[in-house]
């Protein structure tokens, strides 16, 4: 398996290095023959190539078997004409990574905010309110005058149906329950279309129980009773916000794993940002990207009928679980180790 590794900005290089250590250990134990190639994105790419993500990198990503993307300083990239482009957006859009799969589960070893739970947010990744990806040309945001701004939201039946199908297929491997999250009481046309598409797909999966919840109420339900939920399917912005909430309820945003998947390509990506305030301090939690890497291996294994990759992914997840319980992790989840040491501890468990 050939991986393109893009470390990014802020804490990105630190958590990416820890993730690579874990992936190398998994490759050695399970004979995965992983080959990792690195390229500069974010500020490093801007300095080296005049762009936060060079077009050559997109082509290399297209040719790779998978991508590992560290967090980048997206908020600082304001002018595409000067090469300031959101690398995550560019890869998601160019490779049509339409499904953003974000699991959230609790682990033994530290106090739980809302009790034990295990759920997955399945987020549509290519349209919605996200102005940098919902138009073929230009942006979905318009500054009409200096005092008037307009943002357009795109919801399509095709994109709604394919993300719904991803959610239902996932639910069939879990507890067979899908919750549709929306705001159709206000956004009657767009979210109405989304709900309609989801229920149409649901007819193909009669074994799955389906309900729907308005997004603001969903935030309260997720805090009060996350155990109620199994697979949650929703549009882009709702999913982005909800998955951060459920990750924090599980213990920390540092546990927020994320897989961006399309028909042909997959990308592991930490769900959190670049955290410049702690960059270079070797204190960032690398588990989000490590767990994302495990998701990428499992995706590749299923797609290529290569069971060793799915076994390796499960082993990484078990090693993470054991490390958290033993407090072999960073301080945000009750551990005593640095970023590097956390990666080394998990890699050591895989080699044992």
Domain assignment of residue 271, given as a range: 1-97+252-352
Pick the catalytic residue: 205, 230, 240, 300? 240
Distance CA 292, CA 256 (A): 8
Pick the catalytic residue: 188, 200, 216, 281? 216
Tell whether 104 is covered by a domain. no
Same domain, 329 and 240: no
Same domain, 257 and 177: no
pTM, entire model? 0.93
Same domain, 151 and 209: yes
What pLDDT is attached to residue 108?
Answer: 85
User: Tens digits of per-residue pLDDT, 183-229?
Assistant: 999 999 999 999 999 999 999 999 999 999 999 999 999 999 999 99
Pick the catalytic residue: 9, 93, 107, 130? 130
What pLDDT is attached to residue 247?
Answer: 94
Distance CA 195, CA 199 (A): 6
Pairing status of strand 2-6 against strand 66-69 = parallel
User: Tens digits of per-residue pLDDT, 234-270?
Assistant: 999 999 999 999 999 999 899 999 999 999 999 999 9
244 is catalytic: yes
User: Tens digits of per-residue pLDDT, 63-112?
Assistant: 999 999 999 998 899 888 899 999 999 999 999 999 999 999 999 877 78
Distance CA 69, CA 71 (A): 7
240 is catalytic: yes
Tell whether 5 is covered by a domain. yes
User: Tens digits of per-residue pLDDT, 212-221?
Assistant: 999 999 999 9
Pick the catalytic residue: 9, 93, 107, 183? 183
User: Tens digits of per-residue pLDDT, 128-161?
Assistant: 988 777 777 888 889 999 999 999 999 999 999 9
Last residue of a domain, one of 195, 221, 250: 250
Residue 148's CATH number:
3.40.718.10
């Amino acid at each position: 398996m050939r991986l393109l590794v893009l470390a990014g900005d802020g804490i990105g290089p630190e958590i990416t290095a820890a993730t690579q250590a874990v992936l190398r250990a998994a490759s050695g134990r399970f004979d995965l023959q992983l080959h990792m190639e690195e390229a500069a994105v974010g500020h490093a790419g801007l300095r080296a190539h005049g762009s936060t993500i060079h077009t050559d990198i997109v082509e290399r990503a297209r040719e790779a078997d998978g991508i590992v993307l560290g967090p980048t300083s997206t908020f600082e990239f304001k002018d595409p004409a000067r090469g300031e482009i959101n690398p995550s957006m560019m890869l998601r859009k160019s490779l049509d990574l339409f499904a953003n799969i974000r699991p959230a589960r609790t682990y033994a070893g530290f106090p739980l905010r809302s009790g034990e739970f295990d759920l997955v947010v399945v987020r549509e990744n290519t349209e919605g309110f996200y102005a940098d990806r919902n138009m073929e040309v230009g942006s979905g945001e318009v500054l009409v005058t200096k005092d008037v701004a307009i943002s357009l939201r795109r919801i399509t039946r095709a994109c709604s149906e394919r993300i719904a199908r991803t959610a239902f297929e996932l639910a069939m491997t879990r507890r067979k329950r899908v919750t549709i999250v929306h705001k159709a009481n206000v956004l009657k046309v767009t979210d109405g279309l989304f709900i309609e598409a989801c229920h149409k797909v649901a007819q193909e999966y009669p074994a799955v129980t389906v309900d729907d919840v308005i997004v603001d109420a969903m935030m309260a339900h997720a805090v009060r009773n996350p155990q109620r939920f199994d697979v949650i399917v929703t549009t882009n912005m709702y999913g982005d916000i909800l998955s951060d909430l459920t990750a924090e309820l599980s213990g920390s945003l540092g546990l927020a794993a994320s897989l961006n998947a399309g028909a042909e390509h997959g990308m592991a990506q930490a769900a959190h940002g670049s955290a410049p305030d702690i960059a270079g301090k070797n204190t960032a939690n690398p588990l989000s990207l490590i767990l994302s890497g495990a998701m990428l291996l499992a995706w590749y294994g299923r797609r290529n009928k290569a069971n060793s990759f799915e076994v390796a992914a499960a082993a990484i997840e078990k090693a993470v679980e054991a490390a958290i319980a033993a407090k072999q992790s960073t301080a945000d989840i009750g551990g005593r180790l640095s970023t590097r040491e956390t990666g080394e501890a998990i890699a050591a468990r895989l080699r044992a």
